[in-house]
């Protein structure tokens, strides 16, 4: 690795598994000092042992815990350079039948969690007049898929929120961008594909295989590829990039079926 964010003090939420864990691994390999936050202490501890990151159990819905975590990082290092908000949940729901509790929980974690972390981190970034925020959104923000009412709304809100940060704090040296993954092989996507496969009488692997026919690159993304995208947005290579949404979906939003064979 090239050390593209060497020495950068970084906080990654949702770090226990999936994209969050992959981002921790890649950032550590690139020389960052990483604090890996999440709700699964055993997985975080294992990740910390493997990578040298600091395990930081934290619920992003708990504002006091978020503030304590961020304040502790700033006290320990004197700064906070990068925040990656990868914490997220998903529920299958429908606009006509969605329950208030499901709606509130999804937005509280996916949108409110990112807001709380950014709110706590921004004062340090303002003082140092530098910082990079990477919020993990989703192409669901644009696609409006059935069964994704609360999830899509939370991710669309996250994009809008990120753009307000970019506009407000750019003059103070703080950049804010979104990464919008498409289908990526994670525990969350496997859960979705298991439900889809059960409805069609096929297994998870067959459901993933059928899905690739709708993707221009004809494959599912990997968490390592998403970590590479997050690394770019967090690094100085993206020094003139803010308020942007990097879509990494293998061309799933391209009308692949209209192409000549």
Model-level pTM? Answer: 0.92
- List, by residue range, all CATH 3.40.50.720 domains of the chain: 9-182+222-252
CA 226 – CA 235 distance, rounded (Å): 14
Q: Given 27, 151, 161, 183, which residue is catalytic?
A: 151
Does the active-site annotation cover 169?
A: no
**Do 108 and 150 contact (CB within 8 A), yes or no?**
no
**Do 81 and 132 contact (CB within 8 A), yes or no?**
yes
Could you please report the per-residue DSSP string of 21-84? Answer: HHHHHHHHHTT-EEEEEES-HHHHHHHHHHH-PEEEE--TT-HHHHHHHHHHHHHHHS---EEE
- CA nearest to 23, candidates 194, 179, 212, 170: 179
CA 214 – CA 233 distance, rounded (Å): 27
Per-residue pLDDT of the chain (261 residues; tens, 9 = 90+): 678 999 999 999 999 999 999 999 999 999 999 999 999 999 999 999 999 999 999 999 999 999 999 999 999 999 999 999 999 999 889 889 999 999 999 999 999 999 999 999 999 999 999 999 999 999 999 987 788 899 999 999 999 999 999 999 999 999 999 999 998 887 777 777 777 777 777 887 777 887 788 899 999 999 999 999 999 999 999 999 999 999 999 998 765 444 433
Q: Name the CATH superfamily for 9-182+222-252.
A: NAD(P)-binding Rossmann-like Domain (3.40.50.720)
Q: How many CA atoms lie within 13 A of 116 on its CB side?
A: 22
Structure-token pair, residue 89:
């949940």
């Amino acid at each position: 690795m090239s050390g593209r964010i060497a020495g950068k003090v970084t906080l990654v939420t949702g770090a226990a598994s999936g994209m969050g864990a992959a981002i921790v691994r890649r950032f550590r390999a690139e020389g960052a000092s990483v604090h890996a936050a999440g709700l699964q202490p055993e997985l975080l501890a294992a990740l910390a042992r493997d990578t040298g990151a600091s395990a930081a159990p934290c619920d992003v819905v708990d504002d006091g815990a978020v503030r304590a975590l961020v304040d502790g990082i700033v006290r320990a290092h004197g700064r906070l350079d990068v925040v990656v908000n990868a914490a997220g949940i998903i529920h299958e729901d429908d606009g006509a039948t969605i329950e208030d509790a499901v709606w509130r929980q999804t937005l509280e974690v996916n949108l409110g969690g990112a807001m709380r972390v950014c709110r706590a981190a921004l004062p340090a970034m303002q003082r140092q007049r530098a910082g990079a925020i990477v919020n993990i959104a989703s192409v669901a923000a644009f696609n409006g898929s059935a069964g994704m009412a609360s999830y899509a709304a939370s991710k669309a809100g996250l994009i809008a929120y990120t753009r307000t940060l970019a506009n407000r704090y750019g003059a103070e040296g703080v950049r804010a961008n979104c990464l919008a993954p498409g289908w990526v092989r994670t525990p969350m996507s496997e859960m979705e594909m298991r439900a889809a496969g059960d409805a069609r009488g096929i297994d998870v692997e067959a459901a993933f295989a059928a899905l690739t026919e709708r993707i221009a690159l004809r494959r599912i993304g990997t968490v390592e590829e998403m970590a590479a995208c997050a690394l770019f947005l967090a690094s100085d290579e993206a020094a003139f990039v803010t308020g942007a949404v990097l879509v990494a979906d293998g061309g799933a939003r391209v009308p692949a079926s209209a192409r000549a064979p």
